[in-house]
Amino acid sequence: MHFDWTFLVRVSALVLPAMLLMVLHGAAANAAETSAPMEKLASRRIFFGHQSVGGNILDGVKQLPASPQGLVPRVVEVQSPTESLAPGTLAHAMVGQNEKPESKIADFERMMDAGLAKSTDVAFFKFCYIDFNGATDTRALFEKYRVAMEGLKARHPGTTFVHVTAPLTTVQRGAKAWLKELLGRPVWGIAENVQRETFNELMRKAYGGKEPLFDLARLESTAPDGTRETYELNGQTWPAMVPGYSDDGGHLNATAQARLAKELLNFLAGLPAPVVQPPIPAVQATP
């Protein structure tokens, strides 16, 4: 049987360039799809109120390499709520006091009302893991948060307010944890993460799929391969921070900073533009 190698060469000369063109076109399309949402950050003014874990995430943002489009926002600390923010800025400030979560709600609300909302397109703050202990009334705290955010949205319709779940910690394991349990002493992270997750479930139920929600706790409890870090307590499963994400059990190490920084920027870039409701015309008095 005679095989026509000439025919094969001619077909290859036609097909291979076409396939290569398709691959390149697909790569270009994927790159465009990836960069297009990120380009929104170049025109957005963002404010982030936080304490230490938020600072860890911002450290991760600062370490991200700039893309050819320069899409990584500038990280700027806000000194006054009346400051004017430039587009492409991720502004931030410490809000409230650790272990007093209500103070963070009040401080964020104060800053927004004092003028910061006028110069921000997106604004949010987060609680810290240390704001929760085994006795925290999570439902009462959430209700204070919900009422404050509803008021801010009503007073500042031109700002997109983002919600953030409370961060977790690792849980103590091994011989030390076993000895504490034996002696009836509290084990690091066990009771506290229950309260944090209880609060986070209220956040997810209220805002998930309805308003912008950055699920920091879920990211912290998910390993790079997608597996979840959990523990058992009284027959229930609770999430905890992946041990490889922290060097002290609560703050983010370099690995987690880089990962969460990318996740946050992708989340912020994907936010739709706020829909500003037109002002209600004043009712003219009849003569």
Quick: pLDDT tens for 120-159. 999 999 999 999 998 999 999 999 999 999 999 999 999 9
- Give, in degrees to the nearest 5, the angle at Cα 40 between 30 and 80: 150
Q: Band the pLDDT of 18: cuts 50, 70, 90.
A: very low
Q: Band the pLDDT of 23: cuts 50, 70, 90.
A: very low
**CA 89 – CA 35 distance, rounded (Å):** 18
**CA 165 – CA 212 distance, rounded (Å):** 11
Which CATH code for domain 43-269? 3.40.50.1110
- Average pLDDT, whole number, for the chain? 84
In this predicted model, what pLDDT tens digit does every residue of 187-229 receive, in sequence order?
557 999 999 999 999 999 999 999 999 999 999 999 999 999 9
Beta strands in the chain (DSSP E): 45-50, 74-77, 89-94, 122-125, 160-161, 163-164, 213-214, 230-233, 236-239
**CA 84 – CA 280 distance, rounded (Å):** 27
Alpha carbon 200 to chain centroid distance?
13
Query: Distances in Å between the alpha carbon of 143 and those of 74, 105, 111, 147, 163?
Result: 34, 11, 20, 6, 14
Q: What is the pLDDT of residue 173?
A: 62
**What's the whole-model pTM score?**
0.81
**CA 58 – CA 66 distance, rounded (Å):** 15
Secondary structure tally for the chain: helices H, strands E: 8, 9
**CA 92 – CA 108 distance, rounded (Å):** 11
DSSP secondary structure code for residue 104 in this structure: H
With beta carbons less than 8 A apart as the criterion, state whether 37 and 269 touch. Answer: yes
Q: What is the pLDDT of residue 66?
A: 73
